[in-house]
């Protein structure tokens, strides 16, 4: 790893903005000056400029009770009004909000006026189903317009959404519904993935049925079902309602009421270092300010002419901030695509870019690397000349992929913004500003205006240019998480305790390692905790380990993230099988195959291990802590590192000798 990092830091290619781009750029160097002369005044000014406040705020930040911040606290606004009605009122009702493309090729074009009308009906419908301000609504939908309509209608009535990625299992869905005590679940019969309908409703039925043992906890009154896959579904009379029937009956008029700036907007669950996912809480005014600001300036958005496309699913934070809230607050025209990149053919994405004339494209390094593998021939069959700006998010982008992205997709001219942020930060924190920054392949570069970050050592001291350490945010920011749903102690412990008492602290600890080069540009080096990053998705080793030991065959397990050429990291599991099951098993390949599927069913297909190794022992320190570092050496096919702190130093030899690898 360290030789790779050193070679990264010797990257000396620079791409200054072209004169044409700079001349029309939305962002300017002046933003940095304004933000550094008075950071809070800068954010207040941005918020007033970008959003419509029903009641203006007079206070910007309250940080008197860290780590609990409030932003624009005495102001009031309606988030959905800001994303919809005001654009219609400004005369832009006919502007396309969504160019939706279904995987089989069916399409829907939805203008701001139409989207507003649909959200009004949905808001009335949710209210008639008993959803009130502050109540939680779970959304488990494919990438169809109703997903965005649902999020905005929940926001419009001051309720709180919890979007659960459609690839998650019934179990994962149930724990999220339970934790947030959702009242309403919105789902679909199914959605298209890889050429077939993948059912969603059965997972909702299973999630709700398995809660039957605890009737007092059964908070869900209704399940709204969008018809998309046309697949057969089971029906629970009284509980289940078809979306298209209920929405047709709903009142069309709806006045958006203002809510306080700190009204909770959504909960989004993300993996942490323990087995239990954390419900990250975001609120309204600060979140919308920073998503709108970054969407406009980082993506150089000209809403009258640009066609923007972010490929993220709304089940992740990127979909929340850069499909739903940022773009719609800015009145952007965007593409929304239901399916996978390679269905029905491997050029599908490029075909969509050509078809809609996409000018701004935001995706993940893992996707870029898979396209690189397939070769330039595929994108070269399409006209990509409309693209003028490219974005990357989710994990470090290696310089080779960055160069390919620029050359093959960006026609050697489009600037690339590598955006570092997290579910917790809510919006982009570190990125080049197009038209201003000279870009560097592989580096996320600089904090955006108004954001204060640093790289520090374990004691919280700045490492300075050329140094490596941990990435921290040193000042509160508008779209920061406001907490972990129902668990303020875990919020403090996870993000703040490490750098609580340091000079200028407390600092927010992001969990990422980073280095500053001689220009003070930031290079992200991956997670420093037991969190893996697989295809830009966060997975916790502990969560997968607990899924594995929940299988009756498994005595013990350890999971590591091993480097993978395409997905960044891949899940590799080391498992000790109970003696009794080893004897019964018909073949070892059966066991490893069964365990891979088991994890897929327990958590979701993205968590399915690439490999399962059956071992008789796990390497542990004398205090019983599993030494994942050594297992990672094995998983990545390296010489096993220093084993002197193991309780039993022969264990690694036994593991490498006896390892049985799955296929």
Site residues for ligand WT7 per CB under 6 A? 270, 317-318, 393-396, 418-423, 444, 510-512, 524, 527, 533, 536, 538
User: What are the distances in angstroms from CA 253 to CA 123, 250, 313, 572?
Assistant: 10, 9, 30, 53
Q: Which is nearer to ligand WT7, 17 or 511 (CB)?
A: 511
Q: How far is the CB of 428 from ligand WT7 (least distance, A)?
A: 8
The annotation status of 171 as a binding-site residue, yes or no, is no
The annotation status of 549 as a binding-site residue, yes or no, is yes
Q: How far is the CB of 45 from ligand WT7 (least distance, A)?
A: 26
**Closest alpha carbon to 335 in 100, 84, 94:** 100
**Closest alpha carbon to 165 in 195, 139, 201:** 139
Q: How far is the CB of 364 from ligand WT7 (least distance, A)?
A: 8
The annotation status of 318 as a binding-site residue, yes or no, is yes
Q: How far is the CB of 657 from ligand WT7 (least distance, A)?
A: 34
Q: How far is the CB of 211 from ligand WT7 (least distance, A)?
A: 27
Distance CA 658, CA 663 (A): 16
User: Which phi and psi (to 5°) does residue 244 adopt?
Assistant: -65, -30
Q: Which is nearer to ligand WT7, 223 or 401 (CB)?
A: 401
Q: How far is the CB of 536 from ligand WT7 (least distance, A)?
A: 6
User: What are the distances in angstroms from CA 385 to CA 298, 357, 414, 534, 624?
Assistant: 20, 8, 10, 31, 57
Q: Find out whether 190 and 228 touch, Cβ atoms under 8 Å.
A: yes
Mode of pairing for the β-strands spanning 184-188 and 136-140: parallel
- Give me the residues paired with residue 564 across strands: 568
Q: How far is the CB of 604 from ligand WT7 (least distance, A)?
A: 14
How does DSSP assign 526-565, residue by residue? EESSSEEEETTEEEEHHHHHHHHHTSTTEEEEEEEEEEET
The annotation status of 229 as a binding-site residue, yes or no, is no
> Taking phi first (over 0 means left), then psi (-120 to 50 degrees means alpha), and beta for anything else, what does residue 71 get?
beta
Provide the angle, in degrees to the nearest 10, between the axes of the packed helices 170-180 and 201-209. Answer: 60
The annotation status of 418 as a binding-site residue, yes or no, is yes
E strand or H helix that includes residue 107: strand 107-111
Q: Find out whether 498 and 506 touch, Cβ atoms under 8 Å.
A: no
**Closest alpha carbon to 423 in 300, 255, 540:** 540
Q: Which is nearer to ligand WT7, 153 or 544 (CB)?
A: 544
The annotation status of 621 as a binding-site residue, yes or no, is no
The annotation status of 47 as a binding-site residue, yes or no, is no
> Which residue shows structure tokens 């629970």?
236
Q: Which is nearer to ligand WT7, 117 or 416 (CB)?
A: 416
Q: How far is the CB of 108 from ligand WT7 (least distance, A)?
A: 27
Q: Which is nearer to ligand WT7, 356 or 508 (CB)?
A: 508
User: What are the distances in angstroms from CA 208 to CA 161, 177, 560?
Assistant: 18, 9, 32
The annotation status of 104 as a binding-site residue, yes or no, is no
> Which residue shows structure tokens 């519904």?
177
Q: Which is nearer to ligand WT7, 444 or 576 (CB)?
A: 444
Q: How far is the CB of 469 from ligand WT7 (least distance, A)?
A: 15
The annotation status of 195 as a binding-site residue, yes or no, is yes
Q: Which is nearer to ligand WT7, 152 or 393 (CB)?
A: 393
Q: Which is nearer to ligand WT7, 430 or 627 (CB)?
A: 430
Distance CA 66, CA 62 (A): 9
How does DSSP assign 559-570, residue by residue? EEEEEETTTEEE
User: Which phi and psi (to 5°) does residue 465 adopt?
Assistant: -55, 135
Mode of pairing for the β-strands spanning 68-71 and 240-242: unpaired
Q: Which is nearer to ligand WT7, 394 or 483 (CB)?
A: 394
**Closest alpha carbon to 431 in 297, 617, 562, 306:** 297
The annotation status of 221 as a binding-site residue, yes or no, is no
Q: How far is the CB of 621 from ligand WT7 (least distance, A)?
A: 26
Q: Which is nearer to ligand WT7, 116 or 294 (CB)?
A: 294
The annotation status of 132 as a binding-site residue, yes or no, is no
Q: How far is the CB of 5 from ligand WT7 (least distance, A)?
A: 13
Class of residue 610 by CB neighbours under 10 A (exposed 0-12, middle 13-18, buried 19+): middle
The annotation status of 422 as a binding-site residue, yes or no, is yes
Distance CA 585, CA 604 (A): 25
354: Cβ–Cβ under 8 A, 6 or more apart, which residues?
382, 383, 384, 386
The annotation status of 395 as a binding-site residue, yes or no, is yes
Q: How far is the CB of 318 from ligand WT7 (least distance, A)?
A: 5
Q: Which is nearer to ligand WT7, 125 or 364 (CB)?
A: 364
- Give me the residues paired with residue 173 across strands: none
Q: Which is nearer to ligand WT7, 149 or 280 (CB)?
A: 280
The annotation status of 232 as a binding-site residue, yes or no, is no
DSSP 8-state secondary structure symbol assigned to residue 396: P
Peptide bond into 644 cis (omega under 30): no
The annotation status of 527 as a binding-site residue, yes or no, is yes
Residue numbering of the annotated binding site: 193-196, 318, 394-396, 418-423, 512, 527, 535, 538, 549, 554
Residue numbering of the annotated binding site for ATP: 394-396, 418-423, 512, 527, 538
Residue numbering of the annotated binding site for CoA: 193-196, 318, 535
Residue numbering of the annotated binding site for Mg(2+): 549, 554
């Amino acid at each position: 790893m360290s030789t790779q990092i050193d070679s990264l830091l010797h990257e000396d290619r620079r791409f200054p903005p072209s004169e044409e781009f700079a001349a029309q750029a939305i962002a300017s160097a002046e933003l940095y000056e304004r933000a550094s002369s008075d950071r809070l005044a800068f954010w207040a000014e941005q918020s007033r400029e970008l959003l419509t406040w029903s009641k203006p705020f007079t206070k910007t930040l309250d940080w008197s009770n860290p780590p609990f911040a409030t932003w624009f606290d005495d102001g009031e606004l309606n988030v959905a009004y800001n994303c919809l009605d005001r654009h219609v009122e400004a005369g832009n009702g006919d502007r396309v909000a969504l160019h939706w493309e279904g995987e089989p090729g069916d399409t829907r074009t939805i203008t701001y006026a139409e989207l507003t009308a649909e959200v009004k009906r949905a808001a009335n419908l949710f209210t008639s189903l008993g959803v009130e301000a502050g109540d939680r609504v779970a959304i488990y939908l494919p990438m169809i317009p109703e997903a965005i309509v649902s999020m905005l209608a929940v926001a419009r009535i001051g309720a709180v959404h919890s979007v659960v990625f459609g690839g998650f299992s019934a179990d994962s869905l149930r724990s999220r519904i339970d934790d947030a005590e959702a009242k309403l679940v919105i789902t679909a019969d199914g959605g298209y993935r890889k050429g077939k309908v993948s059912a969603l409703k059965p997972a909702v039925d299973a999630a709700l049925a398995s809660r039957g043992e605890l009737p007092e906890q059964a908070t869900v009154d209704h399940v709204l079902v969008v018809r998309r896959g046309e697949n057969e579904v089971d029906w629970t009379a009284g509980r289940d309602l078809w979306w298209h029937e209920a929405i047709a009956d709903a009142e069309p008029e709806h006045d958006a009421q203002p809510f306080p700036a700190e009204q909770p907007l959504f909960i989004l669950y993300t993996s942490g270092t323990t087995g239990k996912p954390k419900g990250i809480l975001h609120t309204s005014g600060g979140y919308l300010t920073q998503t709108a600001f970054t969407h406009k300036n980082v993506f150089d958005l000209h809403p009258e002419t640009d066609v923007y496309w972010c490929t993220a699913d709304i089940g992740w934070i990127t979909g929340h901030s850069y499909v739903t809230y940022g773009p719609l607050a800015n009145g952007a025209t965007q593409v929304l695509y239901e399916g996978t990149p390679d269905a029905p053919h491997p050029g599908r994405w490029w075909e969509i870019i050509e078809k809609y004339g996409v000018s701004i494209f935001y995706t993940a390094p893992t996707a870029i690397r898979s396209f690189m593998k397939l070769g330039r021939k595929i994108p070269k069959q399409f006209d990509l000349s409309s693209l003028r700006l490219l974005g990357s998010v989710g994990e470090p982008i290696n310089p080779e992929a960055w160069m390919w992205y620029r050359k093959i997709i960006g026609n050697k001219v489009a600037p690339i913004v590598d955006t570092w942020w997290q579910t917790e930060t809510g919006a982009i924190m570190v990125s080049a500003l197009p038209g201003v920054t000279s870009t560097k392949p592989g580096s996320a570069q600089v904090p955006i205006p108004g954001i204060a970050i640093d790289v520090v050592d374990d004691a919280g001291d700045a490492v300075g240019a050329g140094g490596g350490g941990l990435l921290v945010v040193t000042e509160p920011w508008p779209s920061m998480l406001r907490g972990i749903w129902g668990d303020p102690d875990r919020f403090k412990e996870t993000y703040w305790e490490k750098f609580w008492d340091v000079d200028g602290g407390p600092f927010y600890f992001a969990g990422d390692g980073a280095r500053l080069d001689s220009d003070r540009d930031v290079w992200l080096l991956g997670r420093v905790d037991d969190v893996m990053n697989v295809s830009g998705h966060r997975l916790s080793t502990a969560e997968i380990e607990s899924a594995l030991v929940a299988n009756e065959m498994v005595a013990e397990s350890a999971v590591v993230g091993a480097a993978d050429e395409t997905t960044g990291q891949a899940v590799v599991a080391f498992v000790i099988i109970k003696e009794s099951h080893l004897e019964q098993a018909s073949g070892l390949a059966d066991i490893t195959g069964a365990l891979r599927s088991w994890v897929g069913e327990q958590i979701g297909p993205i968590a399915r291990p690439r490999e399962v190794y059956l071992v008789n022992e796990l390497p542990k320190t004398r205090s019983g802590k599993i030494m994942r570092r050594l297992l990672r050496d094995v998983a990545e096919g390296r010489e096993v590192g220093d084993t002197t702190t193991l309780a039993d130093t022969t264990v690694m030899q036994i593991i490498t000798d006896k390892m049985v690898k799955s296929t």
